[in-house]
Amino acid sequence: MTAWSIESINWSRFDKNLVDPVLVRLVKAAALVEYNGATYTDYLCNVFAGDADFQAKAKVWGREEVQHGQALAEWAKLADPDFDFQHAFDRFTSGYSVPVDVEASVRGSRSGELIARCMVETGTSSFYTAMSKASKEPVLAEIAHLIAADEFRHYKLFYDTLKSYLLKEQIGRLGRAKAAVSRIRELADDELAYAYYASNVPESVPYDRTACSNAYLGRIYPHYDPEIIRRSNAMILKAVGLTPHGRLNSMLTAGAYRFVSYRAHQLAEAA
Ligand SMILES: [Fe+2]
Ligand SMILES: [Fe+2]
């Protein structure tokens, strides 16, 4: 279990004058997705039926994700006292749901599921690292730093489990790469976009997935630096079974940094 709690955060350091309204919007949306982590625990326990050891670890993991949501929600309420987290969460879960009642992974195999989970933790660890670096407000910087450390540890949990499942399931690099790419392409899927909508856009405005997705990504992309991208690429390559810190990573990092910078500029202009 994580070494921190909501109570151990030094809330007295909160400084309203240093709050960045752009980050507030991201924090509100992220709080909803994280707090919904308990749903994924049920899904993982169904997918890994019979693996009591991993199910126990998945339950701890789920509690940590919920704590991420609680910490972010508490901070968002300090930054914006009008923020009604429970109402936003109810909006989110009434419009977006995860199919929990499954007997097998939607990724085709347990290894595929674990690779997808590695991609999610890669995404969240880089997101919170970027947020921690971007926040001048000290409490948010602290929370994002703590969460990022958890997300790196979550990656390790799924990666270590993946290694043991690959011995049984024999999925080659191509199959692993396909599982990784399909999950990365879902980055702009409904979950983040709908969370942004439920926490930032009035209910009277109809949901526009592309607009909400662009609003979310456009606010975090400017904070991704080459160091964050390089580490993310190493995590992706490792999960796929390729050398994490080689020339391929350098090429991918250069390309991804150009893409992220271009998209950040493009989305800022559109906004
Ligand atoms: Fe999380
Ligand atoms: Fe996580």
Task: Return the ligand number nearest the Cα of 152.
Answer: 2
Domain assignment present for residue 8? The answer is no
Enclosing domain of residue 213? 19-270
Please give the distance, rounded to the nearest whole angstrom, from the Cα atom of residue 243 to the centre of ligand 2: 23
The residue behind tokens 């199919």 is 99
Task: Return the ligand number nearest the Cα of 72.
Answer: 1
Please give the distance, rounded to the nearest whole angstrom, from the Cα atom of residue 133 to the centre of ligand 1: 17
Q: Give per-residue pLDDT as tens, 161-208.
A: 999 999 999 888 888 888 888 888 776 578 899 999 999 999 999 999
Domain assignment present for residue 6? The answer is no
Task: Return the ligand number nearest the Cα of 65.
Answer: 1
Please give the distance, rounded to the nearest whole angstrom, from the Cα atom of residue 37 to the centre of ligand 2: 9
DSSP assignment of 158-225 equals HHHHHHHHHHHH---HHHHHHHHHHHHHGGGSHHHHHHHHHHHS-TTSPP-HHHHHHHHHHHHGGG--
What CATH number has the domain bearing residue 237? 1.10.620.20
Please give the distance, rounded to the nearest whole angstrom, from the Cα atom of residue 247 to the centre of ligand 1: 30
* Averaged pLDDT score across all residues of the chain: 93
Please give the distance, rounded to the nearest whole angstrom, from the Cα atom of residue 117 to the centre of ligand 2: 9
The whole-number average pLDDT for the span 226-251 is 95
Please give the distance, rounded to the nearest whole angstrom, from the Cα atom of residue 150 to the centre of ligand 2: 6
- Helical ranges in the chain per DSSP H: 21-35, 37-47, 52-79, 85-95, 110-134, 138-169, 173-185, 190-200, 209-220, 226-240, 247-270
Q: Give per-residue pLDDT as tens, 59-111.
A: 999 999 999 999 999 999 999 999 999 999 999 999 988 777 777 777 778 99
Please give the distance, rounded to the nearest whole angstrom, from the Cα atom of residue 178 to the centre of ligand 1: 24
Q: Give per-residue pLDDT as tens, 136-154.
A: 999 999 999 999 999 999 9
- Angle among Cα 142, 194, 253 to the nearest 5 degrees reads 60
Domain assignment present for residue 36? The answer is yes
Please give the distance, rounded to the nearest whole angstrom, from the Cα atom of residue 118 to the centre of ligand 1: 12
Please give the distance, rounded to the nearest whole angstrom, from the Cα atom of residue 205 to the centre of ligand 2: 31
Number of compact structural domains in the chain: 1
